[in-house]
Amino acid sequence: MRALLLENIHPEATRLLEERSIKVSTASGAMDEDELIEALQGVDLLGIRSKTQLTARVFAETRLTAVGAFCIGTNQIDLDAASRAGTPVFNAPFSNTRSVVELAIAEIIAMARHLTDKNASLHAGVWDKSAKGSHEVRGRTLGIVGYGNIGSQLSVVAEALGMQVYFYDVVDKLALGNARRCDSLEELLSKVETVSLHVDGRPGNAGLFGAEQFDQMRPRSLFLNLCRGIVVDHEALRERLLSGHLAGAAVDVFPEEPKSAGDPFVSSLQGIPNVILTPHVGGSTEEAQIDIGRFVAGKLRDYAATGATVMSVNLPSVQIDDQVPHARILHLHRNVPGVLARLNTVLGSHQVNIDRQVLSTRGELGYVVTDVASPLPAPMIEELLALPETVRLTTIGC
């Protein structure tokens, strides 16, 4: 098998894949649609991060066995197209949680103490030893918008520093520690002095935070966005910073980001005092990248070797043994009544006995893994492929 890993995925992923005799090619940057389709000819496994866009056309014009998103989000991937192609997508929903939380905490403290301004003054040769405008974070109120893996852990760490935490989420979530749930975003904004966004990149969240929401924030509040660039109106944020309504902001994600390291970057937030801009590095620590490399590469490797789809974001989840007996049939199909019976009828008509069979469904798809102790006749495989419900058929062994 062949794998292509883009966007500087950690070498640990290459090592794990090559251990299973998978030939790995790498590239440092993202690719546009045409480049990607050309590069994927003959490639079975693809690894990307957040910049590469996997469109319906990419899936239609390639034959990917599996895709690994070496990050948390998968909004850069057309998951419906991946499902129609029978291509499982895996991500790393937990691996860089701590890294993002630590950056958020560091930025809250840096803004509260005006460390960026102090640093700039001293580099310019100005000794500005003053406590004016500098505050401890202990006792201050933090509002977290989005209480998922990152938001909830930020809640715990912030509370350990003595902050009072409020959160808002459209889904009913269990509050950790002494965090308090707000019934609306408006309620949260009226209560807190610091707001940190941790929502996902679904289209419905585009423009979630704009002029109306900034105006509802308390004067001289701090604002952080370490989730998705499309969530925030940067022009509205700039206006509130320049007017003094907001005392500081930290932004790690942008509506449009350069494809590769070293490419030029322009933002309307550049040059504003007490604004921290970082190049989408919330999860970019050595520890997080190693863990992401291991986790996602392990999922790709396991699927290629055994057909296991545990924690796939788009296909039914099937956990199966690592040891493939004589042969294994992986049948992804439309989830309609009678498919399993028809599949087994085909096997029985070719005198193929079933050792073990596991079926799982998810929405419009079903996935059945069948272990057999005999060779797989070519006419039988052709009949399975010809079933009208078949989306994808893969065999392991012979």
Give the residue numbers marked as catalytic: 228, 257, 280
Pull the structure tokens for residue 73: 């989000």
Tell me the DSSP string of 286-335.
Answer: HHHHHHHHHHHHHHHHHHHHH---TTBSSS------S---SEEEEEEEE-
Helices 97-112/286-306 angle, 10° precision: 160
Q: CA 244 → CA 1, 7, 129, 237, 323, distances in Å?
A: 57, 38, 22, 11, 63
The C-alpha atoms of residue 283 and residue 24 are separated, in whole angstroms, by 24
Contact, 310 vs 319, CB < 8 A?
Answer: yes
The C-alpha atoms of residue 290 and residue 99 are separated, in whole angstroms, by 12
Residue 343, SS3 per DSSP: helix
The C-alpha atoms of residue 273 and residue 296 are separated, in whole angstroms, by 39
10-41 burial by CB neighbour count: b if 16+ within 10 A, else e? bebbbebbeeeebebeebebbbeeeebbebbe
Pull the structure tokens for residue 158: 């912030």
Residue 10, phi-psi category: left (phi > 0), alpha (psi -120 to 50), beta (remainder): beta
Q: CA 291 → CA 71, 284, 287, distances in Å?
A: 10, 11, 6
